[in-house]
Structure 1
Amino acid sequence: MRTKLLPLLGLALMLFACNSNQSKKSADCDNCPSAEKVAEKKGSCCDHHKSEKVYTLETLMKDPESLVNKEIKLKGNVLHTCKHSGRRCFLASDDEKVNIRVEAGGKIKGFNQELVGSEILVTGIVKERRLTKEHIEQMEHDLKEKQQKEDGSAETCAAENNNITKMRQWMKAHNKDYYAIYFIQGVDYEAVQ
């Protein structure tokens, strides 16, 4: 009788241990902060809620060079989507001082106009395009020719001239012989509630 009782006792202890583990998981989950807060802490509340860091435009632009060719999650407000193809959208920071282009790819077939003004979470790969000093000089030369023709686009020329000046300032501040343009090659996205 005793030999039959030991396996049953062992089974009962195992079931009790498994159930208490399940209760602990549920209790832990009830105490979990929101996924957003978990991402801010760069960790997770429990083993079954592992999370990746979610970047904002401000945090991404602090050191984008270190993230080139890496997949990240980026949250931002949709400022604009390309009307004709829908293959691009532009995300902006809350104050709209920082923005970045997102190219459709992976599961993303396009970006609808209805997204403008909403917040989305994009999964994508950080990419970099470099404009060389020679390229910028050519842009400046073309701009001067355009200004000499006086085609009535003085406002556009001023904006382009301002962009060239900002590029040169960035190059000097970062001690680079090129200007880096960062963008996201999209893989997937979802609307943020």
Structure 2
Amino acid sequence: MKKYLVTLIAFVFLLSACENTVKEDSTSEEEVVIIEEIVPVSISNFETKAEDLVGKQIILSGTVDHICQHGGQKMFIIETGSEGRVKITPDENIAAFNSELEGQNIKVIGIVEEQRIDEEYLKEWEEEIMADADMGDDKGEGMHLGGNMEKGGEDAEKSEELEKVNNLRQQITESGKDHLSFFSVLCTEYEVVETDESESVQE
């Protein structure tokens, strides 16, 4: 009788242990879905908030001021009553912006990106200028100096490009840091909106 009782207790204990294991396994297999918050930002305070939002998703609205004619890889949006100007680039799904968007009011959702300009970067740029390389790529774009800090394209004058480099170098010196940061938005989706709707995203 005692032997039977011991066997029964051992069997019950084994069942209990198996049940707990199943519960633990099922719990560990549950997927945790995290919904990332989309932060509303206005163009007027984008530069102020951008550093803390790098890598995060934001939504902002404005008027398309300019779209790069070389493949539609850059778009700049502005805001009435503000000197702010934000550079927007398309993700791989959008690929390029249509030039017909110029002058339209749009709402953009995207991820804030940072481009750092330091002395090594400027020296590389100088070497490209002196080697008569194509100046079609971006170098140090941003709202600094009116947003005109990009490379000048195929027809760029060496003197103009070198002046841009020197201006950036001066800004680094005055900043007290070893680099400058320029922020832009990698657009994941956008839509054309009515004027009053575009003005509603103001934080």
SS in 2 for 1:121: strand
Indicate the residue corresponding to 1:184 in structure 2.
185
Instruction: Say which structure is richer in helix.
Output: 1
Superposed displacement of residue 154, structure 1: 9.9
Q: Secondary structure at the match of 2:157?
A: helix
TM-score (norm 2): 0.54
CA offset at residue 102 of structure 1? 1.4
Contact 1:125 1:187 in 2 (8 A): yes
Percent identity between the two aligned chains: 26
Indicate conservation of the 8 Å contact 1:88/1:111, yes or no. yes
Tell me if structure 1 keeps the 8 A contact 2:44–2:82: no
Structure 1: 5+ residue stretches without partners: 1-50, 147-152
Counterpart secondary structure, 1:59:
helix
Q: How far has the Cα of 1:108 moved from its partner?
A: 3.5
Residues 94/183 of structure 1: CA separation in 2 closer, same or farther (3 Å cut)? same
2:113 maps to 1:113:
no
- Structure number with greater Rg is 2
Match 2:59 to one of 60, 69, 73:
73
SS at 1:131 equivalent: strand
Q: Which residue of 1 aligns with 2:122?
A: 136
> Matches of residues 42-191 of structure 1 in structure 2 within 5 Å?
54-83=40-69, 85-94=71-80, 97-105=83-91, 108-143=94-129, 156-191=157-192
- Is the CA contact 1:103–1:186 (under 8 Å) kept in the aligned structure 2? yes
Alignment match, 1:31: none
- Output the CA distance in 2 between the equivalents of 1:106 and 1:145: 31
Residue 105 of structure 1 and its aligned partner are, at CA, apart by: 2.4
Q: Is the 8 A contact 2:64 2:102 kept in 1?
A: yes
The within-5 A match list for 1:9-28 is: none
- RCO greater where, 1 or 2, for CA within 8 Å and sep 6 or more? 2
Q: What amino acid is the match of 1:70?
A: K
C-alpha distance in structure 1 between counterparts of 2:103 and 2:87, whole Å: 15
SS in 1 for 2:91: coil
Inter-CA distance 95–159: structure 2 relative to 1 (3 Å threshold): farther
SS of 1:62's equivalent in the other structure is helix
Deviations 1:106-139 (Å, cap 9, x if unpaired)?
Answer: 7645322211012211111000122221121232
Deviations, residues 154-184 of structure 1 (Å, cap 9, x unaligned): 9733432342233223323432212222211
Aligned residues: 137
Retained in 2: the 8 A contact 1:54–1:75?
A: no
Letter aligned with residue 171 of structure 1: I
Aligned equivalents of 1:185 and 1:118: distance in 2? 19
What's the Cα RMSD here? 3.3
Structure 2 distance, partners of 1:126, 1:166, is 25
Which ranges in structure 2 are unaligned for 5 or more consecutive residues? 1-36, 133-153, 195-203
Which secondary structure state, in structure 1, belongs to the residue aligned with residue 108 of structure 2?
Answer: strand
